[in-house]
Structure 1
Amino acid sequence: MTTVSAIDREKGTAFLPRFDAQGLLIAIAVDSITREILMVAYMDEEALAKTRETGLAHFHSRSRGKLWLKGETSGHFLRVQETRVDCDQDALVMLVKPEGPACHTGATSCFYRKLEGEELAPIAG
């Protein structure tokens, strides 16, 4: 196993994703037009490779323990327009074109509530 230095990862031009102990990294889907955060999920190496190969967001389902194509049952795919990588390459922001609601509840975004004191309140809009 080749060790990657922090300098190579943080200052270099090579894509060197840093997966956690469970083999995952954070993936944040953001609407490429509105810049609204749509969802947060995890990717393993397979999900990352499939996303890059197809242009459709794939994730690792922690609850099912397997590859998950966002939209495979709902038809609400996320078409990746651009992928941004954070400084230490353990998180991605994907600018996406959503083909329907991103949240399994039917909401546009999974972030449809805000914390007000000790309660959750719907976000207008």
Structure 2
Amino acid sequence: MSAFPERTTREEVELGSTLQPKFGPDGLIPCITQDHATGEVLMFAFMNAESLQLTLDSGKATYWSRSRSKLWMKGEESGNVQLVREVRTDCDQDVILIKVEQSGPANASCHNGYKSCFYRKLVDPKANDYVLETTTEPLFDPKQVYKK
């Protein structure tokens, strides 16, 4: 049972002033995380009702890991915590956007050591070779940080 209000009319969901998130059949809602100061997209993850509520209550980004089937607060292992500065939703409230301030030793959001999980780009989108280019340098060594 979600602590969030039940979804009401389409008009209220799309134009009203009450958060009525639409969780999918799996209980999850997509979440885009963006740097509050620069607007850079840092990562994409999922939240369930519990992780969204924990995020709102604690002010620290908390997500649902589909691969591990558990909650995880960003930075619980690396120390690179995301402090929530703003929470938004799209027009039909089926996506969450959080704007965060990175805080921690490397100020990185990616488990591979990069500031953003979007550290690669397709070199030539019209070519059929699908070559990716890394566009930035890592900020930390994940082998040292995660000891795995």
Tell me, yes or no, whether TM beats 0.5.
yes
1:1-125 matched pairs, under 5 angstroms: 4-99=8-103, 100-117=107-124, 118-124=130-136
> Residues 3, 107 of structure 1: CA spacing in aligned structure 2 closer, same or farther, 3 A cutoff?
closer
Helix, strand or coil at the partner of 2:19: coil
After superposition, the C-alpha distances for 1:69-93 in whole angstroms (9 at most, x for unaligned) are 0100100000000011100101111
More deviation, 3-12/19-28: 3-12
Q: Determine the C-alpha separation between the residues in 2 that align with 1:3 and 1:108.
A: 36
Q: What TM-score comes out, normalization by structure 1 length?
A: 0.94
SS in 2 for 1:46: helix
User: Hey, what's the Cα distance between the residues in 2 that align with 1:97 and 1:67?
Assistant: 20
Unaligned segments of structure 2, at least 5 residues: 125-129, 138-148
Q: Distance in 2 between matches of 1:67 and 1:46?
A: 8
Greater C-alpha radius of gyration: 2
Cα distance in 2 for partners of 1:104, 1:45 equals 24
Which structure carries more strand by proportion? 1
**What percentage of residue pairs aligned between the two structures are identical?**
42
| Greater relative contact order structure (CA < 8 Å, 6+ sep) | 1
User: In the alignment, residue 45 of structure 1 is paired with which amino acid?
Assistant: A
RMSD: 1.5
Alignment length (residue pairs): 125
Gaps of 5+ in 1: none
Aligned-pair CA distance for 1:4: 2.0
Q: Give me the TM-score of the superposition, normalised by structure 2.
A: 0.80
SS of the aligned residue for 1:52 comes to helix
